[in-house]
Amino acid sequence: MKKIILLAVLLGSVGIVYAAGSHKGEHHTKGENSHWAAPRNAIEQLNPVPSNSHSISNGLKLFAELCSRCHGDQALGDGPDGSGLSVKPTNLKAMAGGHPDGDFAWKIKNGRGEMPAWEDDLEEKEIWHLVNYIQSLSEHSPKKKSNHKHGHD
Ligand code: HEC
């Protein structure tokens, strides 16, 4: 008898917690509050474009042309067109080096809300140039294979 009551109480509270949880975050999908996650297979995708100065400068050009109006010249999330949006453009510099290339690429391709999807407007290669540019803004050294002493390439 006691067991049954205990079980009922437990189930009841799970139900309450569940109901409370699903009320929040109207337009965000479940389990994800503010941060945005790309699907695992996209995150694991390797960057086919080497991050060299050629690629980074292409990325910089594209960024200045297409992205800085929202994300800001320094990718700090403070572009002039961002101020009127309901969701602020992300500070991409702060994310650089802390997220895999595939994560950025997927988000750039697919967009979300006020962030446009670029898949149809950009070539695959251009998306990776943008990723290389964003990663190059990292202040903490990006996770790279080599563990050599400091020193920029
Ligand atoms: C019209 C404004 C606008 C433009 C133009 C724009 N973005 Fe965004 N971007 C946003 C907003 C707003 C978000 C945050 C969306 C969210 O969290 O729902 C965002 C998010 C992102 C994210 C995901 C960050 C995260 O939280 O994981 C990346 C990456 C990104 N933008 C890259 C770019 C790149 C690269 C370009 C140019 C090709 C670009 N954006 C152009 C508004 C813009």
Distance 12 CA to ligand 1 centre (A): 41
Q: Tell me, what's the pLDDT at 47?
A: 98
- Over its C-alpha atoms, the chain yields an Rg (Å, rounded) of 21
According to the model, what pLDDT value does residue 29 have?
44
Buried b (16+ CB within 10 A) or exposed e, 60-93: bebbeebbbebbbeebebbbeebeeeeeebbebb
- The pLDDT score that the predictor gives to residue 21 is 43
Contact indicator for 52, 133 with CB cutoff of 8 Å: no
Alpha carbon 97 to chain centroid, angstroms: 12
Pocket mutation for ligand 1, best pick of 70, 103, 132, 136 (most atoms within 8 Å of C-beta): 70
Per-residue pLDDT tens over the stretch 84-127: 999 999 999 999 999 999 999 999 999 999 999 999 999 999 99
The pLDDT assigned to 135 comes to 98
Pocket of ligand 1 (CB under 6 A): 36, 66-67, 69-71, 81, 85, 87, 89-90, 92, 104, 107-108, 112-116, 118, 130
Here the tokens at position 126 are: 């251009």
Residue with tokens 């050599």: 148
Distance of CA 23 to the CA centre of its chain: 25
Write out pLDDT tens, residues 16-67.
444 444 433 334 444 444 678 999 999 999 999 999 999 999 999 999 999 9
Which tens digits make up the pLDDT trace of 130-149? 999 999 999 865 454 444 44
- Taking the C-alpha atoms of residue 152 and residue 110, their distance in angstroms, rounded to an integer, is 32
Q: State the distance from the centre of ligand 1 to the C-alpha of 54, rounded, in angstroms.
A: 23
Contact 42, 104 (CB under 8 A): no
**129 vs 58: CA distance, rounded Å:** 6
Please answer whether residues 70 and 82 qualify as being in contact, where contact means their C-beta atoms are separated by less than 8 angstroms. Answer: yes
